[in-house]
């Protein structure tokens, strides 16, 4: 149930009182208008929905608990379809409440009132979820034949067939009702509490660069500065602050890895990543084939590219803080917000007007929070909320070209979430492996549109290099992250891990993936500490590589398609979580179980490196 784990707060004022932030160089940056959800944390509307959720949860338990087998033999409102419809309505309402609390909190995670509001709402939702927990457990105790007969007999039940089929996959790992309830209620003081500790610690960190104290986002942004001295100072500031706070990050990591091991052991998962594969509805051999293909390609991709880049920067080997340094050909011009908006919407519109129209709603409706400010969640995300509302996008926009690509990425998620919303609260959620499809495709559309308009050789080289780096970050870096997680969770089974041991594991995978052209020196051993995916969604990271390779193959189909691609693409997005990846990719002639599929996706990155090398020789 999504509403039991909202990860993404607090004056009792209307959200409409917030005004857009202005930066003289970037233009007017928008902030969220959360009053589309509720006018304020203490508003009558919010309190009424919380009371309504409690009433509906108790009524649902009274009406359906212990009666699902009988309902499976009925039709209409008294049948299984009626129960599923009632459950979906609760999922939407509780999801709306939880989304509001999460989004409010992520605007300023250092505000104690925000944290209290978020924590109190999470606790209330968990309490209510305890009354609903029986539903999926009781459904999975019904014989398959009973479920199949209900689907065949009752159209209302048949509507939810994809969700029921998906639910049955969890059956082998389902525990006794009382144990499941204990796991649910204890999560408030277990994993959820340590997730919040990580978030608030990260948001409160300060990094001193030349006497100026700043937060994480602007400090990371300095690693893209053209001045090597600036990059080094930023890296040293990051290393120092991570090192000074490493005990907290080590504690959080050890605790959550052990928490996961306990859960996996009780649920009978064989491999440390099998629970993630199950939630992603992807088979372990498919992920293993992806990881093996990427690791095999390290020398042809990252090792080769970084050796070229070191030469361009006039270095024999780059320091780890030079990895994302701009090329000499790169422009240092800041991209204003309006230009970034027009760039993305134009690229989307050239592909399909409907795509641009949906993306434009985010700009027009206050669905984007763009300024980088103290206390705000770092990074970027698109939060779907619930089908009865609309998604929200968070970015930390600093005017760099990568920020434009990040905007294109998150808006791709947003478009996907809007389109999938028609599937309803139970079936709109896309597995993580496919959730990255629209985001990476949106990036690719934006990049190709910009590249096609560029005739200057030096500018083209800079753009290609940036795209290659982004793809290496998405594919190579994420598979290295996945490898690191596998090593960390395996080692944790033998006992608590020290900061030194975690650092060793981190450096081993970084050295292997980056190659000999990058010097992984002292200070970098703590940089695992700020990666939120390790904390919030263990083993999530391979989904980025999955999505990038999938999109590379998908884009190749698009380039060679005569017509009809857009329609098939929108059908893929609209499907939400109702179809397996094999069903969704079949219309494009793609098969993720074929080892050649991953080679095809990786070959596009290699082709861009070939083009860069040719430009270099020509220059």
pLDDT at residue 593 is higher than 90: no
* C-alpha closest to that of 406 among 556, 544, 590, 264: 544
* Fold agreement between 34-189 and 337-468+546-597: no
pLDDT at residue 19 is higher than 50: no
- pLDDT of 7: 35
Q: pLDDT class for 8, splitting at 50, 70, 90?
A: very low
pLDDT at residue 329 is higher than 90: no
Alpha-carbon distance of 113 to 128, in angstroms, equals: 23
Phi-psi region of 20 (alpha: psi -120 to 50; beta: other; left: phi over 0): beta
- pLDDT of 321: 97
pLDDT in tens, 448-487: 998 888 888 888 888 899 999 999 999 999 999 999 999 9
Alpha-carbon distance of 365 to 312, in angstroms, equals: 44
pLDDT in tens, 491-517: 999 999 999 999 999 999 999 999 999
CA angle 513, 531, 316 (to 5 degrees): 35
- pLDDT of 23: 53
pLDDT at residue 401 is higher than 70: yes
* C-alpha closest to that of 477 among 449, 448, 441, 518: 518
Residue of 431 and 364 predicted with greater confidence: 364
Q: What is the mean pLDDT of residues 122-130?
A: 94
Q: pLDDT class for 1, splitting at 50, 70, 90?
A: very low
3-state SS, one letter per residue, for 86-153: HHHHHHHHHHHHHHHHHHHHHHCCCCHHHHHHHHHHHHHHHHHHHHHHHHHHHHCCCCHHHHHHHHHH
| CATH class held by domain 227-329+473-536 | mainly alpha
CA 469, 472, 474, 480 dihedral sign is negative
Q: What is the mean pLDDT of residues 394-418?
A: 95
- pLDDT of 16: 31
Q: pLDDT class for 24, splitting at 50, 70, 90?
A: low
- pLDDT of 333: 84
Looking at 75-79, 99-103, 106-110, 330-334, which range is the least confident one?
330-334
- pLDDT of 328: 85
Alpha-carbon distance of 363 to 345, in angstroms, equals: 10
Crossing angle (nearest 10°) for helices 337-351 and 432-452: 100
- pLDDT of 12: 27
Alpha-carbon distance of 215 to 196, in angstroms, equals: 18
Mean pLDDT of the chain: 92
Q: How far apart are the first and last CA of the chain?
A: 56
Assigned fold of 34-189 = Butyryl-CoA Dehydrogenase, subunit A; domain 3 (1.20.140)
Q: pLDDT class for 21, splitting at 50, 70, 90?
A: very low
pLDDT at residue 605 is higher than 60: yes
CB atoms closer than 10 angstroms to residue 536: 16
- The length of the chain is 619
Domain boundaries, the chain: 34-189, 227-329+473-536, 337-468+546-597
Q: pLDDT class for 14, splitting at 50, 70, 90?
A: very low
Task: Provide the β-strand partners of residue 392.
Answer: 383
- pLDDT of 104: 97
- pLDDT of 10: 30
- 97 CB-contact burial (10 Å; exposed 0-12 / middle 13-18 / buried 19+): buried
Q: What is the mean pLDDT of residues 421-434?
A: 92
- pLDDT of 332: 79
DSSP 18: -
> CB within 8 A of 6, min separation 6: which ones?
95, 98, 99, 101, 102, 122, 125
Q: Is residue 525 within 8 Å of residue 510, measured between CB atoms?
A: no
Alpha-carbon separation of residue 457 from 117, 324, 331, 542, 614 (angstroms)? 53, 21, 13, 34, 11
Q: pLDDT class for 391, splitting at 50, 70, 90?
A: very high
Q: pLDDT class for 13, splitting at 50, 70, 90?
A: very low
pLDDT in tens, 177-213: 999 999 989 998 899 999 999 999 999 999 999 999 9
pLDDT at residue 2 is higher than 90: no
- pLDDT of 619: 65
pLDDT in tens, 156-169: 999 999 999 999 99
Q: pLDDT class for 563, splitting at 50, 70, 90?
A: confident
- pLDDT of 436: 87
- pLDDT of 11: 28
| CATH class held by domain 337-468+546-597 | mainly alpha
Alpha-carbon distance of 431 to 279, in angstroms, equals: 7
- pLDDT of 229: 97
- pLDDT of 454: 84
DSSP 398: -
Q: At 27, phi and psi to the nearest 5?
A: 90, -165
Q: What is the mean pLDDT of residues 73-93?
A: 95
* C-alpha closest to that of 34 among 23, 50, 48, 45: 45
Q: Is residue 215 within 8 Å of residue 391, measured between CB atoms?
A: no
């Amino acid at each position: 149930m999504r509403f039991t784990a909202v990860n993404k707060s607090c004056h009792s004022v209307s959200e409409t009182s917030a005004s857009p932030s202005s930066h003289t160089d970037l233009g007017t940056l928008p902030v969220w208008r959360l009053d589309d959800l509720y006018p304020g944390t203490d508003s009558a509307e919010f309190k009424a929905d919380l009371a309504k959720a409690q009433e509906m949860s108790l009524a649902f338990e009274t009406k359906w608990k212990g009666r699902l087998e009988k309902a499976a033999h009925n039709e209409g409102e008294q049948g299984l379809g009626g129960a599923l419809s009632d459950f979906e309505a609760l999922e939407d309402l509780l999801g709306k409440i939880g989304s509001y609390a999460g989004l409010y909190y992520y605007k300023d995670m250092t505000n104690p009132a925000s944290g209290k509001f978020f924590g109190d709402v999470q606790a209330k939702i968990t309490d209510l979820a305890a009354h609903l927990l029986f539903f999926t457990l009781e459904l999975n105790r019904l014989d398959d034949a009973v479920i199949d007969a209900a689907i065949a007999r009752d159209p209302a039940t048949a509507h939810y067939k994809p969700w029921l089929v998906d639910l049955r996959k969890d059956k082998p790992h389902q525990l006794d009702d009382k144990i499941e309830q204990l796991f649910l209620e204890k999560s408030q003081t277990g994993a959820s509490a340590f997730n919040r500790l990580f978030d608030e610690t990260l948001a409160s960190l300060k990094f001193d660069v030349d006497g100026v104290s700043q937060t994480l986002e602007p400090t990371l942004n300095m690693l893209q500065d053209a001045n090597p001295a600036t990059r080094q100072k930023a890296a040293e500031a990051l290393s120092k602050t991570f090192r000074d706070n490493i005990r907290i990050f080590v504690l959080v990591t050890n605790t959550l890895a052990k928490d996961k091991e306990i859960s996996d052991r009780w649920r009978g998962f064989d491999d440390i990543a099998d629970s993630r594969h199950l939630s992603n509805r992807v088979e372990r051999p498919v992920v293993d084939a992806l990881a093996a293909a990427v690791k095999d390609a390290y020398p042809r991709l990252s090792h080769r590219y970084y050796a070229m880049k070191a030469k361009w920067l006039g270095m024999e080997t780059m320091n780890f803080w030079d990895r994302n340094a701009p090329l000499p050909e790169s422009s240092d011009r800041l991209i204003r917000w309006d230009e970034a908006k027009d760039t993305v919407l134009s690229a989307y519109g050239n592909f399909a007007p409907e795509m641009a129209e949906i993306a434009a709603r985010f700009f027009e409706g206050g669905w984007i929070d763009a300024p980088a400010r103290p206390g705000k969640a770092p990074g970027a995300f698109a939060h779907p909320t619930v089908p009865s509302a609309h998604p929200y996008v968070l970015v930390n926009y600093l005017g760099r070209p990568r920020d434009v690509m990040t905007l294109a990425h998150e808006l791709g998620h947003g478009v996907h979430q809007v389109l999938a919303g028609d599937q309803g609260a139970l079936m709109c959620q896309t597995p993580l492996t496919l959730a990255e499809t629209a985001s990476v495709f949106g990036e690719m559309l934006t990049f190709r549109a910009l590249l096609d308009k560029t005739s200057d050789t030096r500018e083209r080289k800079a753009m290609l290099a940036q795209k290659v780096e982004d793809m290496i970050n998405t594919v190579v870096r994420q598979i290295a992250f996945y490898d690191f997680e596998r090593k960390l969770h395996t080692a944790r089974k033998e006992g608590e891990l020290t900061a030194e041991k975690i650092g060793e594991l981190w450096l081993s995978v970084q050295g292997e993936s980056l190659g000999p052209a990058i010097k992984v020196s002292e200070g970098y051993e703590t940089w695992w500490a700020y990666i939120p995916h390790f904390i919030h969604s263990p083993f999530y990271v391979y989904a980025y590589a999955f999505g990038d390779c999938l999109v590379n193959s998908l884009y190749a189909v698009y380039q060679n398609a005569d017509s009809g691609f857009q329609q098939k693409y929108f059908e893929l997005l609209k499907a939400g979580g109702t179809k397996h990846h094999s069903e969704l990719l079949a219309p494009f002639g793609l098969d993720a179980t074929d080892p050649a599929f991953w080679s095809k996706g990786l070959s596009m990155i290699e082709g861009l490196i070939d083009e860069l090398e040719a430009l270099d020789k020509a220059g």
